[in-house]
């Protein structure tokens, strides 16, 4: 499928030019992954798909397994007693620590205050059963001393947001186009897999900061289903983080808190906008603009010339070079 897709892309790109072609072809690939992947065998990526199962409304069946139950002593040892030096971030669930288990495995450990509950265990077992190349795997959990922990595989290269507009990043030296295309496809496959499950799992918090990349820039979607641990009321982070998160939410989510596959796809569109432009969606496209990047994109969706302002100049040149050399993927 990869060779055929490369040929199709080369034919399309050959007749295209400039920023509109860049946005268009990436959008086409994402549309293909999200809406046509469900009828294709997922055996190579999940190891659990029946090639004979096809159709939009038939999902991949999960066989629930027992998630690994970690001991607090083990997690404390892995993080040097949850040292500040091991603290690598903080999200909706709580603080995130990098840890090294006794078997040599690097892990990311999310920690929060919380009374023990069977519901927490059940949710952890369900999410740990979801396995895919483009999803961050939940390895297990821990409940002790009125604290709850989620243990994930550690992804060494961090989030896409750090590479796009992290501190000290320079636009001309950021992610190459071939990596951005690979990241977009990988994230789309991960999201599509969640939507193919039975019952389907809506991510509910898809954003650029939740797309991680490994040492080979393979995209892995993080925090799938994490909102299920938070109940009806989200745990608010710093005010700047709330603003950045809200911009990824579809209008029906912001107004009515109605999450769905469509709201995930909307969030993916905002992610794609950031991936292509190299800017935060909450930014203003220009100094004289009063709209953020998303609002500006909607207002100028039919004016392809405006997208020349959106796409990084060097990224566009790299895109054209790839077309000429016929190395799309």
Residue 37 marked ligand-binding = no
Nearest to 138 by CA among 82, 93, 189: 93
Q: What are the contacts of 322-325 at 24+ separation with CB within 8 A?
A: 322/177, 322/178, 323/10, 323/13, 323/14
The tokens for 263 are 């709201």
Cα dihedral across residues 194, 195, 201, 207: positive or negative: positive
The tokens for 175 are 């992610």
Q: Are 99 and 79 in contact (CB under 8 A)?
A: yes
Q: Where in the sequence numbering do the catalytic residues fall?
A: 205
Q: Give the chain's end-to-end CA distance (angstroms, integer).
A: 11
Residue with tokens 């997922």: 42
What Å distances lie between residue 180 and 196, 221, 235, 241, 312, CA to CA? Answer: 24, 14, 31, 24, 12
| C-alpha dihedral (104, 109, 115, 117), degrees to nearest 10 | -70
The tokens for 222 are 């993080």
What Å distances lie between residue 40 and 1, 59, 114, 270, 312, CA to CA? Answer: 10, 11, 41, 26, 34
The tokens for 286 are 């220009």
**Would you call 65 helix, strand, or coil by DSSP?**
coil
Q: Are 49 and 193 in contact (CB under 8 A)?
A: no
Strand-strand pairing, 197-198 and 147-153: unpaired
Which residues are documented as binding site for ATP? 111
């Amino acid at each position: 499928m990869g060779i055929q897709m490369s040929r199709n892309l080369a034919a399309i790109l050959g007749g295209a030019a400039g920023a509109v072609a860049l946005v268009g072809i990436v959008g086409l690939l994402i549309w293909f992954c999200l809406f046509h992947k469900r009828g294709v065998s997922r055996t190579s990526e999940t190891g659990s798909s029946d090639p004979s199962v096809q159709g939009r409304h038939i999902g991949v069946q999960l066989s629930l397994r027992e998630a690994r139950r970690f001991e607090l002593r083990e997690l404390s040892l892995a993080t040097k007693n949850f040292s500040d030096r091991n603290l690598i971030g903080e999200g909706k669930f709580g603080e995130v620590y990098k840890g090294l288990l006794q078997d040599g495995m690097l892990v990311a450990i999310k920690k929060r205050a919380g009374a023990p509950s069977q519901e927490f265990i059940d949710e952890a077992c369900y999410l740990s059963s979801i396995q895919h190349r483009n999803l961050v795997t939940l390895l297990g959990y821990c409940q002790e001393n009125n604290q709850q922990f989620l243990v994930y595989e550690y992804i060494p290269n961090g989030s896409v947001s750090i590479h796009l507009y992290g501190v000290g990043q320079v636009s001309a030296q950021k992610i190459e186009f071939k990596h951005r295309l690979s990241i977009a496809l990988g994230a789309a496959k991960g999201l599509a897999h969640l939507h193919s499950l039975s019952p389907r799992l809506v991510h509910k918090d898809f954003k650029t900061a939740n797309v991680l990349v490994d040492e080979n820039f393979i995209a892995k979607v993080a925090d799938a289903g994490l909102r299920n641990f938070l109940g009806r009321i989200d745990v608010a982070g710093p005010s700047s983080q709330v603003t950045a998160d809200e911009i990824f939410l579809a209008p029906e989510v912001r107004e009515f808190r109605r999450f769905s596959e469509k709201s995930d796809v909307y969030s993916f569109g905002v992610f794609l906008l950031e991936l292509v432009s190299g800017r935060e969606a909450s930014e203003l496209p220009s100094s004289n603009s009063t709209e953020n990047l998303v609002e500006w994109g909607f207002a100028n969706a039919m004016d392809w010339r405006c997208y020349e302002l959106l796409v990084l100049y060097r990224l566009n040149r790299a895109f054209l070079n790839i077309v000429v050399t016929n190395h799309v993927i």
